[in-house]
Homo-oligomer: A and B are copies of this chain.
Amino acid sequence: MTRRSHEQLRLTADLAILTVREGSLQVLTVHRGNEPFRGHRALPGGFVRPRETVDDTAARELREETGLAGVHLEQLAVFSDPDRDPSGRVVTVAYLAVAPDLPVPEAGSDATAASWEPVDQMLDPAADLAFDHGQILAAAVERARGKLEYTTLAAAFCGPEFTIAELRTVYESLWGARLDHRNFSRKVLGTDGFLTPTGQRTSSGVGRPAMLYRRGPATTLHPPMLRHSMDLPVSPERRTTRTAGPRRVNGEHPG
């Protein structure tokens, strides 16, 4: 392919649409029918139109792919390596979208068949996502993980009404850790404006029915939800003793 130095720059919006299905973090992908990267999986996205903001582009693509509107959508980062798209100079604005568990998109089952795929698999180099979409996905997951700590983003993964256990599953799926359900419950209930009780209770399933809640008005968590509490004593053996309870070590991630 030609590499003209003065070719026109094009701008796209690409979306990492995340959800939690059956306790696993999943991402919406499309199957590319055209070059470049024909046959590869990619994140949904498209070109910015002349009289559109990039945010509008992202919202439009989201609607076109999932039929959803009003879900959480935020800018992630700009990816602008001159060679990221072999067909020319294309800069993309990556977005993180968070959706509840949908009844599978399969929008018309047209050429670009969309499907939910486990994030773990898509982040594996073997998945070989098109363009730099592996990087975009990694950034999206990292952002979502972090925002669970200090925002109410987790509720965006749930439907309009949900139980505390469902909410906890979101945390556990993203953090890959078990949380103590008793402390978790107290924590979210004690955070003003996180949950609004509906008065309803779940009916199906074994065990004591759970209360149902709706999203409350709060968006930030003070104090934050801490990323500790790894339990899961699979066998009845004591977990490693954690003598001088190391809260958390200062890591490298700049934020």
* A interface residues (Cβ-Cβ under 8 A, vs B): 5-11, 48, 50-55, 74-75, 77-78, 80-82, 89, 91, 93, 147, 150-151, 153, 191-194, 217-224, 247-255
Contact across chains for A249 and B192 when beta carbons are under 8 A apart: yes
Contact across chains for A8 and B8 when beta carbons are under 8 A apart: yes
The winner among A8, A55, A80 for most chain B CB atoms within 10 A is A80
Contact across chains for B192 and A250 when beta carbons are under 8 A apart: yes
A101 to chain B, nearest CB (A): 22
A87 to chain B, nearest CB (A): 15
Checking B82, B147, B217, B248 against A50 with a beta-carbon cut-off of 8 angstroms, the contacting residue is B82
Copies in the complex: 2
A223 — which chain B residues lie within 8 A by C-beta? 247
Contact across chains for A220 and B50 when beta carbons are under 8 A apart: no
| Cα(A169)–Cα(B248), bound, Å | 27
Which applies to chain A's interface (DSSP): helix, strand, loop or mixed?
loop
Known: A11-B91, A192-B249, A248-B222. A53 touches B82 (CB 8 A): yes
A48 — which chain B residues lie within 8 A by C-beta? 9, 80, 91
A150 — which chain B residues lie within 8 A by C-beta? 150, 255
Contact across chains for B80 and A77 when beta carbons are under 8 A apart: no
Contact across chains for A82 and B51 when beta carbons are under 8 A apart: yes
A185 to chain B, nearest CB (A): 18
A51 to chain B, nearest CB (A): 5
- What are some 5 contacts across the A-B interface (CB < 8 A)? A5-B50, A54-B78, A80-B93, A219-B254, A222-B247
A78 — which chain B residues lie within 8 A by C-beta? 54, 75, 78, 93
Contact across chains for B77 and A53 when beta carbons are under 8 A apart: no
A218 — which chain B residues lie within 8 A by C-beta? 250
Contact across chains for A220 and B250 when beta carbons are under 8 A apart: yes
A193 — which chain B residues lie within 8 A by C-beta? 250
| Cα(A97)–Cα(B194), bound, Å | 34
Contact across chains for B81 and A53 when beta carbons are under 8 A apart: yes
A75 — which chain B residues lie within 8 A by C-beta? 77-78
A82 — which chain B residues lie within 8 A by C-beta? 50-53
| Cα(A91)–Cα(B52), bound, Å | 11
A6 — which chain B residues lie within 8 A by C-beta? 50
A50 — which chain B residues lie within 8 A by C-beta? 5-7, 82, 89
- Complex: chain B residue closest to A74, CB-CB: B254
